[in-house]
Amino acid sequence: MRRLLAFTLVAFACMGSTALAGDLTGKTVVIDPGHNGGNTSHHEITGKQVWAGTLWKDCDADGASTDGGYSEAQHNWDVAVLVRSLLQAQGARVVLTRQSNAGAGPCITRRAAIGNQQRADAAVSIHADGNLNTSDTGFHVILPADAGQSQRMLRRSEQLGIAIRNALRDQGPTSISNYIGSNGLITRSDLGGLNLSKVPKVFTEIGNMHAPHDAAAMTSSAGRQLEASAIAAGITNFLTSRRG
């Protein structure tokens, strides 16, 4: 109860600070809620092989879930909607890669293409991990490896990732990962959403859905608000920075 109360109190504080963080008028942000609620029953769609820039992969995946049955797909959708509202309140144009949590896909190739077609100033894919070791806990942000993207895209993606890492570290509901990455960051070359992106893009993995503390944060509306507020704050800091 104390932990959930703490989540609630900090969430309200973060909502206020994020709303005043910056003017995002004229900026386009693509938010990609990973997976989808219908993926588990539509493997004829999600099992299709697509080229992910460095390897062939399934079109999409089922995603993880907490021991209590709260799915990663639902979590990703719930947080994405909150992030959208926070960014729109600052004047940003926000595009989601899916419009509900009731379908299957879209494929990872399509998710990347949406960001490219929208010429997004920033794109963020929202996820959670499903490590079965319950002592593995904490968030990490995934940066793109060089898979043929422009050097500017790689540089700006790193800046975006650091901005979001800093915000999650300072005001998010989970600590920095104790089992993957370095100081909350990791670079990967196996994710089509990053390999195929032409715009600055990162993945967030807010924590391990099988770790009790992380699961409590994800299944709490206050914890999700903290997560969304931190992601929105990181995006805002990135978009309002003078770095090019």
Specify whether 44 is catalytic. no
Q: Which among 44, 158, 205, 227 is annotated as catalytic?
A: 205
Distance CA 18, CA 86 (A): 7
Report residue 139: phi and psi, to 5°: -95, 160
DSSP string, the chain: -HHHHHHHHHHHHHHHHHHTS---TT-EEEEEE-S-TTGGG-HHHHTSEEE-SSSEEES-----B-TT--BHHHHHHHHHHHHHHHHHTTT-EEEES-S-SSS----HHHHHHHHHHTT-SEEEEEEEE--S-TT---BEEEEEP-SS--HHHHHHHHHHHHHHHHHHHHHSSSPBPSSSSBTTEEEES--HHHHT-SS-EEEEEEEETTSHHHHHHHHSHHHHHHHHHHHHHHHHHHHHSS--
Q: Which residues are marked as active site?
A: 205
